[in-house]
Structure 1
Amino acid sequence: MAGPADGIIDLYSRRADDWDADRGRSLIERPWLDAFLAQVPAHGRVLDLGCGSGEPIAGYLVRQGRRVTGVDAAPGLIDLCRARFPDQDWRVADMRGLDLGRTFDGVIAWHSAFHLTPGDQRGLFSVHARHVAPGGALMFTSGSTADESVGEWRGEPLYHASLSPEAYRAALDESGFDLIDHRIDDAACGGATVWLSRRRVRE
């Protein structure tokens, strides 16, 4: 039986232009993006999971000299990315179970993975492990406590979920990542809960 999380892809597919119009361009995320980029080589490759319309996150990464591969399940959002940044690599794909067959210097999932069910979020760590090169960076956002909720956006239901902080820490460790920085409900970043980590390099 379909649940509220199953409507996310359809919602963003139908309303890509509305989402793009509502997405701010102020880039309050910049301090976190800079911390992420400090872990990525000057001309490194970044995978953006749930890239949306490419602005402002992917656009900032591109302007800082990184090569971006963006993945989103909504074709309309990827169309906007391709129009804005035709020299980058944009893919219509579901991040769940993704396997691009190569690794990146950094992977970011900003305000995207929290639309997945708790079970799918746990499974996403195998996706991260497949795509982050040893020594590479992983940054994502989450909720601050274990929870599932259905809010509203432009009159339509919008699903969010989160694991507990302890579960995220365990998943990072089990997947081979060391935590670099973490903030719960960062007031300077719109209340985002952010996780920045690095993939271990094994001898």
Structure 2
Amino acid sequence: MPDRIAELYQRHALAFDAARRRSFLERAWFDRFIHRIPRGGEILDLGCGGGEPVARYLVDRGYQLTGVDIAPSMIKLARTRFSRHRWIEGDIRKFGAESNAYDGIIAWSSLFHLDAEAQAKLIARIAIWLKRGGVALFNTGPADGIAIGELEGEELFHASLAPGEYRALFARSGLAEIAHRIEDPDCGGMTVWLVGKV
């Protein structure tokens, strides 16, 4: 099921993008995230979509973005909107970056489309890509398991580890939990993690 994500988002790119542009419930979490990143810092957005509203929010505040998304239509939108930033069409499971390359990394509404094993691998790589003192922001499910959501009436895969499993991954990877909220009512019920590289 996770391998169908690309075709789903490609097929429904415009509808998804239009819906995303209307809502930015996660703004308070992004404020906490950028509070820890120097102005002009380098941010990696894994699963960037078309760049609305997240990339716009970060670009408008002076950050340099590299975005990765598996859907060509999404990357095309981001390139059109923010041509001075770097947009890469690719699978976040296969993306590679240099060690200590980024001040901040986002995997917002993207990490949870991977199965548990792929999530664990990506979290370990995020830790490598972050500069010391850098921060990562992502959301997951509230507990261990698989959930099937929907995108424009089609099934959409989500998976999550248990909170304790994420914390064990952080400890092994040199990450420290800064903030965590299960099903945050101020963020549309999303379960959110903010972690830093120690």
TM-score range, shorter chain: over 0.9
**1:97–1:124 CA contact under 8 A, matched in 2:** no
Residue 163 of structure 1, aligned match among 151, 161, 164: 161
* 2:188 is the counterpart of 1:190: yes
Q: How do 1:1-203 residues align onto structure 2 when only pairs under 5 Å count?
A: 4-101=1-98, 103-200=101-198
> Structure 2 unaligned runs (5+)?
none
Query: What is the deviation of 1:24?
Result: 4.1
> Structure 1 unaligned runs (5+)?
none
Deviations 1:171-193 (A, max 9, x none): 11111111111111000010111
Distance 1:79 1:14 in 2: 14
Q: Describe the SS at the equivalent of 1:23.
A: helix
Residue type of the alignment partner of 2:135: A
Runs of 4 or more, structure 1, over 6 Å off, are: none
Query: What is the deviation of 1:50?
Result: 0.4
Residue type of the alignment partner of 2:35: A
Distance 2:150 2:104 in 1: 32
Distance 2:45 2:183 in 1: 22
How many residues align? The count is 197
Instruction: Return the TM-score normalized by structure 2.
Output: 0.96
Distance 2:96 2:79 in 1: 21
Distance 1:14 1:152 in 2: 13
RMSD between aligned alpha carbons?
A: 1.1
Distance 1:163 1:131 in 2: 22
Query: What is the deviation of 1:22?
Result: 2.1
Identity between Structure 1 and Structure 2 (%): 45
Distance 1:26 1:72 in 2: 20
Deviations 1:106-135 (A, max 9, x none): 001111110111111111112202311111
